[in-house]
Amino acid sequence: MMEIIAKNRKAYFQYEILEKIEAGIVLTGTEVKSIRNKDVSISESFAHISDDEIFIHEMHIGQYKQGNRQNHEPKRVRKLLLHRGEINKLIGKVKQKGYTMIPLSLYYKEGRIKVELALVRGKTIIDKREDIKKRTIEREIQRAMR
C-alpha cells in the first residue's frame, strides 16, 4: 500500500525519463513529522553522487512547528539509501553525457518514507512542443467522443 506525499509534476514535462528506482532516505525525527504533515516540496530537487554515495539536494522539508531548538534545516543535504550494485549502475549511467537524477515522488511504503528516483535526460524545446501538441490532440479527441 503506497500513499503519495509529494510529486514532481514538472519532471515529466522537462525531462525524458529513462529509468526509475526506489530509494530510502535518511531523515531526522522532526523531518519525518513535517513530512507526515505534508510540508515538503521536491520540485526543485536533484540527486548528486559524491564519494560513491548518493545525496539529494534542494529538497525542502518545512520546519516542524512544535519542534524545539533541535529542529532541522529545511534544505539540508540528505543521504539516499540504495544497494551498492544499484549505486554503481547509476554512477556508470550518470557519467554519460546529459544524464542526471531527480526525485519523481515521495511516498510511504509499509510505514517507511521512500523516494522514487529517476535517471533522466533533459528535453529540448522541440520535444516539449511535441508533447503539448499531443496533449491538445488527445483532449480534442476526448471532447469529440463525448
- Tens of pLDDT, residue by residue over 75-106, are 889 999 999 999 998 888 888 777 889 999 99
Q: What is the DSSP secondary structure assignment for residue 96, as one 8-state letter? A: S
Question: Long-range contacts: 34-39, Cβ < 8 Å, 24+?
Answer: 34/61, 34/62, 34/63, 34/64, 34/72, 35/5, 35/61, 35/106, 35/113, 37/62, 37/64, 38/5, 38/6
pLDDT at 83: 94
How many domains are there within the chain? 1
| Distance of alpha carbon 93 from alpha carbon 26, whole angstroms | 24
Q: What is the CATH number of the domain that holds 109?
A: 2.40.280.10
Residue ranges making up the domain that contains 39: 2-145
Measured in whole angstroms, the distance separating CA 88 from the mean position of its chain's CA atoms is 19
Q: Per-residue pLDDT tens for 24-56?
A: 999 888 888 888 888 898 888 999 998 889 999
pLDDT at 111: 86
Say if residue 110's pLDDT is above 80.
yes
pLDDT at 57: 93
pLDDT at 106: 92
Measured in whole angstroms, the distance separating CA 133 from the mean position of its chain's CA atoms is 26
Q: What is the DSSP secondary structure assignment for residue 63, as one 8-state letter? A: P
Closest CA to 104 of 32, 37, 34, 46: 46
pLDDT at 21: 93
> In the predicted model, what is the mean pLDDT of the chain?
89
